[in-house]
Structure 1
Amino acid sequence: MPLPNFDSLESVIAIIVVFGMLVFVHELGHFLLAKRAGILCREFALGMGPKIFRFKRGETEYTLRLLPIGGMVRMAGEDPEMDVLKTHMNVGVELDHTGKIKRFFLDNLDALPANVLKGSLLDWELERKLQATLEVAGETRSFAVHPQALLVSAGQEVQIAPHDRQFGGKTVPQRFWAIFAGPAANFILAFVLLVAIGLIYGVPTNAPKIGPVNPGGPAAIAGLHEGDRVVTIDAKPVASWMEIVDVVSKSPGKTLTFVIDRNGQQLKVPVKVENKDQVGKIMVYNPVVYSPGEALRFGAVTTYDFTAMIVKGLASLFTGAVGLKDLSGPVGIFKMTGEFAQQGMSILLKWAAILSINLGLFNLLPLPALDGGRLVFLIVEALRGKPIDPHKEGMVHFLGFAFLMLLILVVTWNDLHRIFFS
């Protein structure tokens, strides 16, 4: 009964770093495009549940939450704005140098300094007109409200969000790109990771050469060196790495005679092929080249190939070729990440790239509660010329979220069953 490979500190760190990076980049995409559109971002969070660390810079509170799953960018207007002001409520207001209200104090009025005006709130409008009317010492007074005014209660400050700073106050294209930027950032991350692999570890080529040689393997014992160009195998010319792989894999247990070119000198090298599950192995790897241009090409081509592979897998799920029992959830992915961490940094980086593409594609599915579902609502709004009722949209997303939670429970059970009962 194999257990998840979480016993290694290296595995645990790899899991935290990989998943933290994927979520951070995804949410950063949303955050940067929302800020560019002028949307007030109240919070940038990594994780879910109670806050365990927080700090505020500018208009945004940055938080780390207890449960290491997911994250969010809380944009003004995505949820109903706080309705904490009440008619005839006693408040204190602090004015800036132009006479606009910059702070509303909602409690502990007796402890406020003398320069804070105190009165009864008669009327207010904090989204479009930005005005407030108070009764101060028996006199009715009206004030303009600063667009970045703060509501202060129990020592906590919350910035107001005028309509033009809210998510719903932006154009359809601005909202579309703010939502689409999250999944897009995951594709960019995958490309960057794959380019990094190409730069650090080289780009595999199809040249008929010997790549890195595994010490103690058949090739190393026979005397093959990295960089040797293979001319023939058993007197048959070879012109590519794939031809070498084809000949070797079909020769388990046999001794093949390699003629190689090493620094202009041809050498004849007999190699005893290892039989591994009826497949021939000599324990060498692809030849690689180190080139920034090739690394960029490798990143682009491999990102495309991985995307096509994952899309095909998703399609097989919807067509019924793959069932829910075949899916893996968070537990299974954590387990695989820990295992790949043990196999080397290049393998872990490639796995992180695949996960990043998976996250991007999954979020683009046109399902409620996912980014793709929200994009569908925006497209419908653009076509009909007016937004869908926010209460109806909210209910659809709520039901979609409940479905996703149920799906996560199912695939998590699949993971646990495979780990403990397979």
Structure 2
Amino acid sequence: MNTVIAFIVIFGSLVFFHELGHFIFAKRAGILCREFAIGFGPKIFAHKKGETVYTIRLLPLGGYVRMAGEDPEMTELRAGQRIGVIFNEQDEAIHLIVNGRDRFKEARVIEIEKADLEHELIITGYEEGEDELKTFRVHREALMTEDHLSTQIAPYDRQFNSKTLPKRAMAIFAGPLFNFILAFIIFVVLAMIQGIPTNEPQLGEVIEGGAAVEAGLQEGDRIISIDNEIMSSWEDIVTVIQKSPGEELAFNIERGEEQLTIPVTPSAQEAEGKTYGMIGVYTPFEKSFFGAFVYGAKDVYAWTIQIIQLLGTIVTGQFTIDMLSGPVGIYVSTDTVAQSGILNLAKWAGVLSINLGIMNLLPLPALDGGRLLFFFYEAVRGKPVDRQMEGMIHFVGFALLMLLMIVVTWNDIQRFFL
């Protein structure tokens, strides 16, 4: 049960920050954001604040920010159509009722001759019982109700496609960017709590049952030499220990005001067909407020390079389907990491956040990277790709990604449970 909660909290946080990036920069660009959703499928929670509906949906496998103008979403008002209209004190239409106007007693019935809800924001038509053609102004935040669903209209300057190319690109790029920012925050906080790994020739936390504990070594011991070989760094200590499995080593240490010589025999550990010596000691750490920020940035960079190198195996042909993990694989890995403590779980969340950011930047249809690729093409060409063609490409790409997700999930199930 704890693993389920940890998985939902971690995955939900990653998705939340990703969508928050889209949301913040879309709002800064003046785009009307209709919905901020975590998950897909049926709603299990919805709350409207301002012009945005915040929802949590049943399947916690992603999320989205629904921006005005990205998809066909408004009913087009046609000539001859009769609708109900509610006006404010300034005689502006603030509510357009396409059907079911009997429920709104204050609505005036208008037979439409012409309607422009994007640019001019007017409705021209005949009010019921009158023969004079009139033009009515429509409020910029007017609602349109059809089949009991009310939607705020979006003047063209509030739509996604009305914005400049840099603003549109930033609204899309901000999602992955916020995943990197989240990872940075996590790594900085962890560095402040745990400290920063240092290369000093000193012992960090000792592991119960390890050779170091059995020999009497303690956390904080400073290693002067091993078998009379001077130790000037933590790397020197690791090198000597790893190449000496099963061999007794004389550790000359400094503990407080004392200098001691303690014999230690590293245990043998098999890894990648080789045998290494281990004594069960972690890297030493030191506390530094400003250093934590530097270390956080370095950690983000290191994990980014490592993940990109893994993706590079696709090009070299070394990539296999087993190297991919879907929700099932991530859940199993989360369960394993959770057993090693909350700090390691937080580190895992940071790594997953970087991974989510990088994967979304891949130039594939339906991903943020695919949309950015279309923007790049638009910048070079001088005009956007046909919207219907782009929509079709993203639809096909999304379908293929869902198919890949099914294959990866089935592979995870076979690997871990069958």
> Which residue in 2 is equivalent to 1:182?
175
> Which residue in 1 is equivalent to 2:349?
352
- Give the 5 Å matches for 1:11-50: 11-50=3-42
**Is the CA contact (8 Å cut-off) linking 2:234 and 2:283 kept in structure 1?**
yes
**Correspondence 1:82 to 2:74:** yes
Cα distance, 1:58 vs. partner?
Answer: 0.4
Three-state SS of the structure 2 residue aligned to 1:386 is coil
Provide the rounded CA distance (Å) in 1 between the counterparts of 2:266 and 2:96: 80
> Which residue in 2 is equivalent to 1:243?
236
> Which residue in 1 is equivalent to 2:192?
199
* CA RMSD after TM alignment: 1.5
Q: Which has the higher contact order (CA 8 A, sep 6+)?
A: 1
Question: Which region of structure 1 is more displaced relative to structure 2, 202-211 or 383-392?
Answer: 383-392
Three-state SS of the structure 1 residue aligned to 2:236 is helix
**Is the CA contact (8 Å cut-off) linking 1:25 and 1:182 kept in structure 2?**
yes
| CA deviations over 1:233-260 (Å, ceiling 9, x no partner) | 1221111111111211222223222111
**Is the CA contact (8 Å cut-off) linking 1:233 and 1:256 kept in structure 2?**
yes
How many residue pairs get aligned? The number is 412
Provide the rounded CA distance (Å) in 1 between the counterparts of 2:364 and 2:147: 39
> Which residue in 2 is equivalent to 1:170?
163
| CA deviations over 1:314-350 (Å, ceiling 9, x no partner) | 1111321212343222211111011111111222122
Cα distance, 1:364 vs. partner?
Answer: 0.8
Cα distance, 1:84 vs. partner?
Answer: 4.9
**Is the CA contact (8 Å cut-off) linking 1:11 and 1:342 kept in structure 2?**
no
Provide the rounded CA distance (Å) in 2 between the counterparts of 1:380 and 1:249: 52
**Is the CA contact (8 Å cut-off) linking 2:78 and 2:115 kept in structure 1?**
no
Provide the rounded CA distance (Å) in 2 between the counterparts of 1:107 and 1:11: 48
> Which residue in 2 is equivalent to 1:68?
60
Q: Which runs of 5+ in 1 are unaligned?
A: 1-8
Question: Which region of structure 1 is more displaced relative to structure 2, 35-44 or 329-338?
Answer: 329-338
Provide the rounded CA distance (Å) in 1 between the counterparts of 2:3 and 2:287: 29
Amino acid at match of 1:129: E
**Is the CA contact (8 Å cut-off) linking 1:90 and 1:118 kept in structure 2?**
yes
Cα distance, 1:416 vs. partner?
Answer: 2.0
Cα distance, 1:155 vs. partner?
Answer: 3.7
**Correspondence 1:125 to 2:122:** no
Three-state SS of the structure 1 residue aligned to 2:120 is coil
Cα distance, 1:154 vs. partner?
Answer: 4.1
1:405 to 399, 402, 407: 402
Amino acid at match of 2:145: V
Cα distance, 1:279 vs. partner?
Answer: 2.6
TM-score normalised over the length of structure 2: 0.95
**Is the CA contact (8 Å cut-off) linking 2:92 and 2:138 kept in structure 1?**
yes
**Correspondence 1:381 to 2:378:** yes
1:52 to 25, 41, 44: 44
- Give the 5 Å matches for 1:309-320: 309-320=306-317
1:298 to 265, 273, 295: 295
Provide the rounded CA distance (Å) in 1 between the counterparts of 2:322 and 2:316: 15
1:288 to 279, 285, 288: 285
Three-state SS of the structure 2 residue aligned to 1:38 is coil
1:224 to 211, 217, 220: 217
| CA deviations over 1:346-394 (Å, ceiling 9, x no partner) | 2212221111111111111111111111011111112222111100111
Three-state SS of the structure 2 residue aligned to 1:133 is strand
After the TM superposition, which segments of 4 or more aligned residues of structure 1 sit over 4 Å from their partners? none
**Is the CA contact (8 Å cut-off) linking 1:212 and 1:286 kept in structure 2?**
yes
Amino acid at match of 1:98: Q
> Which residue in 1 is equivalent to 2:369?
372
> Which residue in 2 is equivalent to 1:6?
none
Amino acid at match of 1:128: H
**Is the CA contact (8 Å cut-off) linking 1:187 and 1:356 kept in structure 2?**
yes
Provide the rounded CA distance (Å) in 1 between the counterparts of 2:193 and 2:259: 31
**Is the CA contact (8 Å cut-off) linking 1:327 and 1:414 kept in structure 2?**
no
Provide the rounded CA distance (Å) in 2 between the counterparts of 1:383 and 1:281: 56
Cα distance, 1:293 vs. partner?
Answer: 1.4
- Relative distance call for 1:99 and 1:397 in structure 2 (3 A) is same
Provide the rounded CA distance (Å) in 2 between the counterparts of 1:108 and 1:58: 25
